[in-house]
Structure 1
Amino acid sequence: MGYTKYCQGYSEYTIINKLTSHLEHKPGAAVEVDWSGPSMAYVDTSTGEIVTVYLFVGTLPYSQYSYVEPCRDMKMDSFIRAHIHMYEFFGGVATRLVCDNLKTGVVSHPKEGEVVLTVDYEAMGSHYQTAIMPASIRKPKQKASVEGTVGKIATAIIARLRNEAFYSFEDLKAAVAKKLYGFNHESFQKREGSRYDSYLDEKPFLHPLPSVPYEIATWVYGRKVNIDYHVVFEYNRYSCPYQYARKSVDLKVTDSTVEIYSGSARIATHNRFPSGRRNQYSTHPEDMPDKFKFSPWDDIRIKNWARSIGDYTAQAIDRIFEGVPIKEQGYTPALAVLRLSNKYSEARLEAACEFAITSGIKKPRYHHLNSILASNQDKIYVERKKADAKEHSQMGYLRGSSYYGGDNDDQ
C-alpha cells in the first residue's frame, strides 16, 4: 500500500471512530458534581495572606441548572457540606449522583468488581436516597454536563470577578452567588429560555428532600464512662445511664449533637456545647440513680407541700410570700416553717398555724410557730377546742315554758 492510500484510509478510520451523538437527558435522573480547575482567592486582613478558594460545581444535565460554592479546601467535610447545600439549592434530589474518582468520595474503582465509597460519602447517599455512581477513570465524558459547566463558570464567574479584591471569605461567597444567579438566568444561545426556566420544568421530577438535612458525623471509639456516669468530649461532660459507669462507649459527634452508643445501641443523645465552652455538664434526669434525683425548690412546690399539711399551714405560707417583694425571698422562711413538721409532726404544725392565725398573728414566721410548739401551746389549744366542742354537744336544746304549757300558755 502506498503512503497516500495509507493516510487516506487512516483518516477515514479516525473519523468513523470519533463520531459523536446527541444525548437526551431525563429530568431528575442525575446530578453531576466536580471541582473547578481554576480557583479564586481573598486577602486575610489579619495576616495579609492571600488565601486560595476552590469552587465546587454541581449541574443537573437535563436543565443545565448549576450550583457553585466556594470552599476553603477540598477535604471531606467541605466536599460533603457542599453536596448538602447543593441539594438545598436545587430543592430536591436526583436519582443518581455522578462524581469524579476523588479520594474524598471513592476508595477504589476497579475495572472489575464493585466500587468502594468512603464511609461518609456512602452515608450521605443513603440519607438522600440517591445512587452514587462515579464516572469511569479517565473518562470525563460520562459527566460531560458538569465538565462543560466548569468551563463556562471560568468565564461567567471567575473571569468576571478577576479584577475585584475580596477581604473576607463571606464577601467572595456573596459575589459568586450573585454571578451564579446571572449565569442561571441568562438565556441559552441555542435553545429557548434559560437554565432556570428549564429547571422549573425539571424540579417536579426531583425527589423531595429528607425532613432533616444530613449531618456530618465524627466517631470517637472506646471512650470511658466516668464514675459520675458522664463521658468527656472536648472538655465538656455528657451523661449516659448510670449502669454504664466504668464501661467503654462510642461517641457519634455532629455539629449539633453528641450521641452515645454502647455497641450498636444508642443510649443517650445530647445537644453539643458550642466550641469554646469548657467544663459544662449536660445531664439527663433519667440517667441518674434514684437517690440523686430531686426537684429544685420553688414557690409552687413549697405551696403544694403546705397545702398537703392543712389549710392553716397553707395560709401561713401564703402570707409569708405576700410579705416579700420577690418570691425568692420567701423560700428560706417558708421552708423553715414547713420543716417544723419533721421535728414535731404535720398535725401539730397545722394546729400551731391555726392557733397563731386565730390569735391575731397576721404573718406567722418560724420563731412564732417554733415558740408555740416548744411550749406545747398547740396541744393546749387543741384540748381546749375539743373540750368546748364536747360541752356544747352535752347542753342539748333548751325549750322555753311556752313549749310545755302552764299558766297563760295552756291551750
Structure 2
Amino acid sequence: MGQPPVGYTKFCEDYQRHIDQYRLTNHLKHKPGVSIQVDWSGSTMDLLDTDTGELITVYLFVGTLPYSQYTYVEPTLDMKSDTWLRCHINMFEYFGGTTIRLISDNLKTGVISHPKEGDIVLNEQYESLANHYVMAVMPAQVRKPKQKAAVEGAVGKIAMAVIAPLRNEIFTTMGELKAAIREKLEFYNAKPFQKREGSRRLIFTETEQEKLRPLPSIPYEIAEWVYGRTVKLDCHITFQKNNYSCPYQYVKKKVDLKVTAHFLEIYYQNERIATHKRFPTYKEYTFSTLPEHLPDQFNRLEWNEQRLLNWAQTIGPFTYKVIQRIFERLQLKEQGYQSCLSVLNLSKKHSNEALEKACQIALERLHSPRYRQLNTILNNPNNKEILEEAESAQKETLGFVRGPEYYGGDIND
C-alpha cells in the first residue's frame, strides 16, 4: 500500500539483483580422500515377480567421492537399517578404502537426532560401523542439501546414466539387475567429463585412490544387541533356544548380547566376558560351553547328578525316570542342571504326588519330557481330578501317623 506499482519485467530484474547481492555462493573445493557422501536415490527401479506378475520396487543406494566424483550404486529391496549398513560395507570394498569423513542425510537409519545446538545422536549400529572403520559421521544440516552437493548431483546423474537406459528392460532376479546396473555404472565412471579433463575413474585411480585409508583386515559385521539376559545356574545364557556359557562369577547377573551372523559376544557392564561361534538358526537346544567358564566344583559331576537323582527318587519312580533321561541326552552333565531343577521345583508349586502323576502321563507320550510339557499337564483343568486322586491315594497309603508325644515326647518324659 502506498508504493508505486512496477511491471513484471522490472520486478524480475530487481529481484534477480537482490539475489545476486545477498545470496552469493562459493565454489567448493574438495580434497582427495577426505570425505564420502551417501544417500538414497529419489528415483527407483522395478523387479518383476514371475510368480505373481507384480512389480517389486527397487531402491538405489548412492555413494560418491566428492573430489573425483567416482560413484558407487547398489540396488536394494528396502531402506532398512541393516540394508543401509550393508550398502556402506560394499561401497568401502568397491572404493578399496575409506575416508576420514562420512557425510549422510538425516535418515533415521543413520541419525536419530540432529539439533541446531548440542551433540548429534547417531543410530547405535551406524555409530558402531563408523568406529570400526575409524570414520567421523557428519550428517548434513537439515534442509541444507548443498552440504552434500556431490551426492545430490550424482543422484540426478545416476538417474540419467543408469535408470533411464534400463527403463524398458524387464528384470526378474536381483542378480540380473545388479549386473546391468554395474555395467552402466562402470560406463558412467569411465565417461570423460564435459567441463573437466579426464574421467571419474581416471582421477580416482591417479589421484584419489592412494589417499584413501586402508580397510581393516576384518569387514564390519552387522550386529543385533539383546539386553538384560540372566546368567543361569548352569553358567549359561539362552539365545534363540541355544545356550552359551559365561564365566561362573556372573551367575544370576544381567548381561547383554552382541549377535552377528557368525559370532555371539557376551558383555557385562560394557565389558566383553565371553565370545562364542553362533549356532545356525536350524539348531535348537544345543550348548556351547567353554571349560574355563565352569567352577571347580562342576568337576564333581557324580555328586551333583546324584543329588538331583536322589531328590527325584524321593518324589517317585516316574520323576526319577524323567530326570535320568534328561541326563542321558547330554555330554556334559552340568548342562542338565537347570532343566532338572525346573522339573523338580514343580513339586514345590504343586505337590510330590501331582508331579509324579504328571511325569507318568508325560512318559506315556514322550521319551524325554521337559518342564514345559509337565507344567502344561499340571495346569490343565482336564487333569485336575486325576492329580487329586493321586494325592488322595498317596495319603491313604501312608495311613495314620502318630505324633512325637506317642513315642515319648515332652509330655511323657
Q: TM-score, normalised by structure 2?
A: 0.66
1:258 equivalenced with 2:264 (yes/no)? yes
Match of 1:55 in 2: 60
Counterpart of 2:189 in structure 1 is: 184
SS of aligned partner of 1:144: helix
The aligned amino acid for 2:38 is: V
Residue 290 of structure 1, CA deviation: 4.3
Distance 1:207 1:265, change over 3 A: same
Identify the residue that residue 376 of structure 1 maps to in structure 2.
Answer: none
Displacement after TM superposition at 1:220 (Å): 0.9
1:234 aligns with 2:237: no
1:126 to 124, 127, 131: 131
Structure 1 counterpart of 2:291: 285
Q: Which amino acid aligns with 2:260?
A: T
| Whole-angstrom distance in 1 between the partners of 2:51 and 2:279 | 28
Displacement of 1:172 in angstroms is 1.6
Is the contact made by 1:217 and 1:252 (CA closer than 8 Å) also made in structure 2? yes
- Indicate the residue corresponding to 1:112 in structure 2: 117
Displacement of 1:37: 0.4
Q: How many residues align?
A: 294
Sort the Cα spacing of 1:166 and 1:76 in 2 relative to 1 into closer, same or farther, 3 A. Answer: same
Structure 1 stretches of at least 4 aligned residues deviating more than 6 Å after TM superposition: none
| AA of the residue aligned to 2:271 | A
- Inter-partner Cα distance in structure 2 for 1:250 and 1:176: 41
The 1:72–1:20 alpha-carbon spacing in structure 2 relative to 1, beyond 3 Å, is: same
Q: 1:46 to 1:227 in 2, by over 3 A?
A: farther
Give the one of 6, 22, 37 matched to 1:3.
6
Aligned counterpart, 1:44: 49
Aligned-partner residue type, residue 215 of structure 2: L
Instruction: Report the Cα distance in structure 1 between the residues aligned to 2:218 and 2:165, rounded to whole angstroms.
Output: 36
1:30 aligns with 2:38: no
What is the identity, as a one-letter code, of the residue corresponding to 1:270?
H
- Residue 74 of structure 2 corresponds to which residue in structure 1? 69
What SS does the corresponding residue of 2:285 show, helix, strand or coil?
A: coil
Deviation of residue 66 (structure 1)? 0.5
Q: Aligned-pair distance for 1:138?
A: 1.1
Q: CA deviation at 1:102?
A: 0.9
Identity of aligned residues (%): 57
The 3-state SS of whatever aligns with 2:38 is strand
The answer (yes or no) to whether the contact 1:45–1:168 under 8 Å persists in 2 is no
1:167 aligns with: 172
Change (3 A) 1:135 1:286: same
Shift of the 196–235 alpha-carbon distance from structure 1 to 2, 3 Å rule, reads same
Matches within 5 A, 1:169-318: 169-200=174-205, 201-290=207-296
Measured in 2, the distance between the counterparts of 1:269 and 1:242 equals 15
| Letter aligned with residue 139 of structure 1 | K
Take 1:7 and 1:193, find their aligned partners in 2: how far apart are those partners?
39
Retained in 2: the 8 A contact 1:79–1:104? Answer: yes
Give the SS at the match of 1:166.
Answer: coil
1:261-299 deviation per Cα after TM superposition (whole angstroms, max 9, x unaligned): 2222222101112232222322222223446569xxxxx
Measure how far apart 1:171 and its partner are: 2.2
- The CA deviation at 1:153 is 0.9
Distance 1:2 1:244, change over 3 A: closer
Q: Which residue of 1 aligns with 2:20?
A: 15
Q: Which residue type is aligned with residue 287 of structure 2?
A: Y
Q: CA deviation at 1:160?
A: 1.4
Structure 2: runs of 5 or more not aligned: 301-413
1:301-351, CA deviations, whole angstroms, 9 ceiling, x for partnerless residues? Answer: xxxxxxxxxxxxxxxxxxxxxxxxxxxxxxxxxxxxxxxxxxxxxxxxxxx
Q: Deviations over 1:146-203 (max 9, x none)?
A: 0111011111111111122222222222222222122112222222221111111101
- Call closer, same or farther: CA 1:279–1:148 in 2, change over 3 Å: same
Shift of 1:124: 1.7
Q: Are residues 35 and 7 of structure 1, via their aligned partners in 2, closer, same or farther at CA, if it must alter by over 3 Å?
A: closer
Q: CA deviation at 1:217?
A: 1.7
Could you tell me how far apart the structure 2 residues matched to 1:126 and 1:120 are? 10
Q: Assess, with a 3 A threshold, how the Cα gap between structure 1 residues 233 and 63 changes in structure 2: closer, same or farther.
A: same
The one-letter amino acid paired with 2:284 is: R
Structure 2: how far apart are the matches of 1:188 and 1:11?
30
Output aligned runs, 1:300-379, within 5 Å: none
Name the structure 2 match of 1:349. Answer: none
Partner Cα separation in structure 1 for residue 46 and residue 12 of structure 2: 49
Q: Distance in 2 between matches of 1:273 and 1:28?
A: 40
Partners of 1:293 and 1:191 in 2: CA distance: 74
> Residue 380 of structure 2 corresponds to which residue in structure 1?
none
* 5+ residue gaps, structure 1: 295-411
Q: Which amino acid aligns with 1:138?
A: R
Greater Cα radius of gyration, structure 1 or 2 = 1
- The 2-side partners of 1:114 and 1:264 are apart by 22
Deviation at 1:21, TM superposition (A): 3.7
Q: TM-score, normalised by structure 1?
A: 0.67
> Would the aligned equivalents of 1:285 and 1:293 in 2 still touch at CA under 8 Å?
no
Q: Does 1:149 align with 2:178?
A: no
